[in-house]
Every structure is written in structure tokens, then in C-alpha cells.
């Protein structure tokens, strides 16, 4: 039985794209929690060792090898900061955050070049702007998303990523150009629709449609280097984000599980780049939000 479970686990790790995304989106649901098959692989290894069965041991090593192939590189230490690196922080600050001032100070104290925020709602929006302004003199806000920068910004405009079935006002996409010492970067800040996990599986059609619109915007971007920061309500393994992950680089090191803050099980807060490398990604200490902030280094080419 252990050997059968081990082979099945290895098959899910290597062949997760073959799991159909039919009713309930089982494929996307599996991919959301795919790294957690690692502990399953370790648990399956224990009885094989206790039984001292060569066949069971070989079978139990299959999911360990599969997990290492997929995720082992994320555990390696990241390189030190380089001269062409840009430090960024991404955070869904939470529309029910009772300490926006403390949150803003904590993010600024991390010292990044760029801070991207989602769920900016009045009156907290003014609090973030006021506290970040001394160290981040340039900023752009559209709807409930914003970007604060140490470098000048220009050409800020909204990006339409609203799913067609939403009729009310819904501004959760922003594009601006960051003028860094190493060249211009088109920076996108986005907050994709939430997904819901229930008895029927994963409900992600709105998120997937919004990801498609955002992917089209990135594909049409004329500036060579593109940076995307946002709460994308999906992991980089989730096929629902394929319109983005197929066009952009994701973090090379680190898991940085960011949600929920009380017991993080997935990183749905993402940093992606085109014509640049996303190095090590990590979480910062909890704020008043239900998400953890994530910090990453971008190496410009």
C-alpha cells in the first residue's frame, strides 16, 4: 500500500498538468498546494525504512526525487545583492487593517526601492501616503492599488483587468514607468479576484479571466523590462496564472508562503519580471493584514 501511495504521489508531482481542470478545477486546486506533497513524501518514506524493504524504499524515494526536482532549487541560498539589483516589497495591506500606520512604517523600514500595495481604502489610503512620503516621494494610486517609489514615476494609468460579469466600479490594476539609474521599468500592480475553495472544489473563473487580461497587457507592453507586483490570488504553479507565468520570470529562491498570515500555506502574493531576474523571495513579519508582506530582489539585465 505504501508503495502504491508513493507512486501516486510522485505521479501527481510530475504529472500535475495532466490532472483536468473540469468541474471544481481539481488541477488548479492541486497546483495551489503542490509543495505540500513534500511532507507526504517524507511520511511515506518512514514505513519503507522501518520495513527494510528494498522495493518499498525505491518506490518511496520516487516522490522525494520528484519534489526535489520541482522545488529543491527554491531551498538554495540566494546570491548577495548586486549593483543592478532593485529591492521590492509587495503587500495586500487588508481593507480591515486596524493599524495602517504601523503597517506603513514596517514596510518602509524594510528599505525597498518599490512598495506595491493592494486593498487601499479610505481613510487608510491617506495614512499610507502620509507615512511613506518622506522616504518614498514618488507614488501612483489607481482605485485600490498603488505603488510607492524612491525613483521618479511617469505615465501612471489604470489597467483594465475587470471580469466582464462585474458591473460595479472595480479598479484593481495600475501601470506606471519607474525611472531607475539602470533604465526604465514598466511596473504593474494588480489585485486579481479572489478564489473560493468549497465542497464543489475551486471557483476561479473570475481570477482566471482577470489573469488573461493582465497577461495581454503585459504582452503588449513596449518597455523592455516589466515588473509585476500583486496579490494574484494564485500560486506560480497554478495553471490559472499561465497567461502571466508563461510570459514572466518568477522567484528562483524561496517559498515565501504569504496567506493566510496566521498560518501561511501558499504564496498568492507574487513578484514577477520580464527581461529581469527575480532572485530570493521571502516574507516579512506580520502586519495588521491577513496577508504577510513579501520582499524580493530584482536583478536588471
Condensed to tens digits (0 to 9), the pLDDT of residues 11-34 reads 999 999 999 887 778 999 999 999
Q: What is the pLDDT of residue 21?
A: 82
pLDDT, mean over the chain: 93
Determine the 3-state secondary structure of 184 from DSSP: strand
State pLDDT tens for residues 105-116.
Answer: 999 999 999 999
Q: How confident is the model at residue 176 (pLDDT cuts 50, 70, 90)?
A: very high
Calculate ∠ Cα 206-284-281, nearest 5°: 70
> Which residues, in sequence order, are bridge partners of residue 186?
177, 226
Ramachandran assignment for 65, one of left (phi > 0), alpha (psi -120 to 50 degrees), beta (any other): alpha
Q: Is the pLDDT score of 283 beyond 80?
A: yes
Distance CA 228, CA 134 (A): 24
pLDDT average, residue stretch 226-234 = 98
The position carrying cell 523571495 is 281
pLDDT of 201 higher than 80: no
Q: What is the DSSP letter of 114?
A: E
Cell of residue 93, nine digits: 495591506
Q: Which three cell numbers stand for residue 283?
A: 516574507
In this predicted structure, what is the pLDDT of residue 56? 74
Strand partners, 226: 186, 274
Residues 136 and 296: their CA atoms lie apart, in Å, by 18
Closest C-alpha among 113, 87, 118, 88 to residue 103: 118
Say what the pLDDT of residue 199 is: 66
| 229 vs 81, more confident | 229
Report the pLDDT value the prediction gives residue 114, as an integer from 0 to 100: 98
pLDDT over 70 percentage in the chain: 99
Confidence of residue 84 (pLDDT cuts 50, 70, 90): confident
Task: Decide: 189 and 119 in contact? Cβ < 8 Å.
Answer: no
pLDDT higher than 80, residue 78: no
Closest to 161 (Cα-Cα) out of 93, 230, 225: 230
**What average pLDDT score do residues 86-94 get?**
98
Summarize the confidence of residues 260-276 as an average pLDDT.
Answer: 98
Is the omega angle on the peptide bond into residue 61 within 30 degrees of 0, that is, cis? Answer: no
The more confidently predicted of residues 201 and 31 is 31
Comparison of pLDDT for 60 and 55, the residue scoring more:
60
pTM, two decimal places: 0.94
pLDDT beyond 90 at 68: yes
Q: Classify the phi-psi angles of 53: left when phi > 0, otherwise alpha if psi is within -120 to 50, otherwise beta.
A: beta
Amino acid at each position: 500500500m505504501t508503495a502504491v501511495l508513493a507512486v501516486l504521489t510522485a505521479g501527481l508531482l510530475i504529472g500535475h498538468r495532466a490532472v483536468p481542470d473540469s468541474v471544481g478545477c481539481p488541477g488548479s486546486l492541486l497546483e495551489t498546494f503542490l509543495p505540500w506533497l513534500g511532507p507526504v513524501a517524507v511520511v511515506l518514506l518512514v514505513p519503507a525504512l522501518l520495513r527494510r524493504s528494498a522495493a518499498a524504499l525505491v518506490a518511496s524515494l520516487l516522490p522525494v526525487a520528484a519534489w526535489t526536482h520541482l522545488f529543491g532549487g527554491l531551498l538554495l541560498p540566494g546570491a548577495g545583492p548586486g549593483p543592478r539589483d532593485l529591492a521590492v516589497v509587495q503587500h495586500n495591506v487588508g481593507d480591515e487593517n486596524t493599524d495602517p500606520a504601523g503597517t506603513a512604517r514596517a514596510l518602509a523600514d524594510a528599505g525597498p526601492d518599490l512598495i506595491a500595495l493592494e486593498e487601499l481604502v479610505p481613510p487608510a489610503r491617506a495614512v499610507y501616503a502620509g507615512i511613506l512620503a518622506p522616504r518614498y516621494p514618488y507614488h501612483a494610486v489607481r482605485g485600490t492599488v498603488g505603488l510607492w517609489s524612491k525613483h521618479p514615476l511617469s505615465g501612471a494609468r489604470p489597467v483594465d483587468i475587470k471580469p466582464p460579469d462585474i458591473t460595479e466600479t472595480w479598479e484593481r490594476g495600475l501601470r506606471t514607468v519607474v525611472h531607475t539609474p539602470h533604465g526604465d521599468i514598466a511596473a504593474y500592480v494588480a489585485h486579481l479576484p479572489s478564489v473560493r475553495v468549497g465542497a464543489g472544489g475551486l471557483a476561479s473563473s473570475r481570477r482566471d479571466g482577470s489573469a488573461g487580461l493582465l497577461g495581454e497587457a503585459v504582452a503588449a507592453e513596449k518597455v523592455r523590462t516589466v515588473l509585476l507586483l500583486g496579490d494574484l490570488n494564485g500560486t506560480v504553479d497554478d495553471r490559472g496564472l499561465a497567461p502571466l507565468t508563461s510570459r514572466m520570470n518568477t522567484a528562483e529562491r524561496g517559498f515565501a508562503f504569504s496567506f493566510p498570515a496566521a498560518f501561511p500555506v501558499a504564496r498568492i502574493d507574487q513578484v514577477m519580471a520580464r527581461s529581469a531576474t527575480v532572485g530570493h523571495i521571502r516574507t516579512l513579519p506580520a502586519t495588521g493584514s491577513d496577508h504577510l508582506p513579501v520582499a524580493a530582489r530584482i536583478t536588471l539585465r
